[in-house]
């Protein structure tokens, strides 16, 4: 099975988790190429200066200093570089210009004859032409129990809203947002975890769920779980008021 991974250049969590995924892939699965998007933590493309200002404005000085330091140290450690992890394994990087759905970009991906596209923090909306490039379409990892908590930063919202459990979902991508039928879903008790701890745990869980999904697609033996739109909740990036409510509820970022 020929896989193309669609991901982003996140310096905090993705590199080591993608490395874990690559190590655990079964013999019949091969990553033949990757697309690495620019990182966009707020769900849209912004200048680096705008990202810095927004982080400070929303989360405050202590958070800004802590994650600013973590960002710098992560950038200096090649183990946190998604492109480096992929290059070390000899996996080609597909250079795309602009929106992934442009015909010229689709042709670049199609040249690798993928059986399956695997989106891990893919931060663009995928259109039907892209989804049809691969034989089995595209799967995506979402670190929440769909159909609840569609959208951005579910680790923040499940904590703010006092949920006792969360989890991970791997679903077949359609043209909506986190709306396709679910292939794998695994549940997790939150307990006293901070947001950083929750992200760590669910990212690792997510890699195992992707492996499980690949096996199901390879065998052809699976039953899809309905991603019921009537039960959905959807969240965007938090505001400073949301952050105040998060802290007032006794929740921790780290």
pLDDT, position 45: 58
- Report the mean per-residue pLDDT for the chain: 94
Q: Is the pLDDT of residue 190 over 90?
A: yes
Within 8 A by CB and 6+ apart from 138, the residues are 6, 116, 117, 118, 119, 126, 130, 131, 172, 173
Radius of gyration of the chain (CA): 18
* Encoded tokens for 184: 């794998």
The DSSP line for 81-145 is -HHHHHHHTTPPBP---S-TTSHHHHHHHHTT--SEEEEES--SPPPHHHHTTSTT-EEEEESS-
∠ Cα 151 20 183 (to 5°): 45
Q: Is the pLDDT of residue 42 over 80?
A: no
pLDDT, position 136: 98
User: In CATH terms, is domain 2-248 a member of 3.40.50.170?
Assistant: yes
Q: What ranges do the domains of the chain cover?
A: 2-248
Q: How far apart are CA 179 and CA 143, in angstroms?
A: 14
pLDDT, position 44: 52
Q: How far apart are CA 238 and CA 156, in angstroms?
A: 8
Q: What is the pLDDT of residues 110-163, one digit of tens each?
A: 999 999 999 999 989 999 999 999 999 999 999 999 999 999 999 999 999 999
pLDDT, position 76: 79
The percent of residues in the chain predicted with pLDDT above 90, rounded, is 84
pLDDT, position 69: 86
């Amino acid at each position: 099975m020929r896989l193309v991974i669609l991901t982003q250049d996140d310096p905090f969590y993705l590199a080591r988790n993608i490395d874990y995924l690559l190590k655990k892939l079964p013999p019949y699965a091969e990553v033949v190429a990757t697309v690495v998007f620019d990182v966009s933590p707020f769900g849209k493309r912004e200048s680096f200066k705008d990202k810095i200002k927004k982080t400070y404005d929303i989360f405050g000085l202590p958070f800004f200093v802590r994650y600013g330091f973590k960002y710098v140290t992560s950038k200096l450690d090649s183990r946190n570089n998604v492109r480096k992890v992929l290059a070390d394994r000899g996996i080609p990087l597909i250079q795309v210009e602009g929106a992934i759905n442009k015909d010229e970009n689709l042709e670049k991906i199609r040249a690798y004859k993928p059986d399956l596209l695997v989106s891990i923090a893919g931060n663009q909306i995928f259109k039907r032409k892209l989804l049809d490039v691969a034989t089995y379409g595209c799967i995506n990892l979402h670190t929440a129990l769909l159909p609840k908590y569609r959208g951005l930063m579910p680790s923040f919202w499940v904590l703010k809203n006092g949920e006792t459990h969360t989890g991970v979902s791997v679903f077949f991508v359609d043209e909506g947002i986190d709306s396709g039928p679910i292939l794998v879903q695994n549940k997790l008790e939150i307990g006293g975890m901070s947001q950083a701890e929750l992200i760590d745990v669910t990212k690792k869980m997510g890699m195992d769920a992707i492996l499980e999904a690949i096996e199901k697609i390879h065998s052809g033996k699976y039953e899809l779980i309905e991603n019921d739109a009537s039960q959905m909740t959807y969240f965007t990036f938090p505001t400073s008021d949301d952050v105040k409510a998060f802290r007032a509820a006794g929740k921790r970022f780290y």
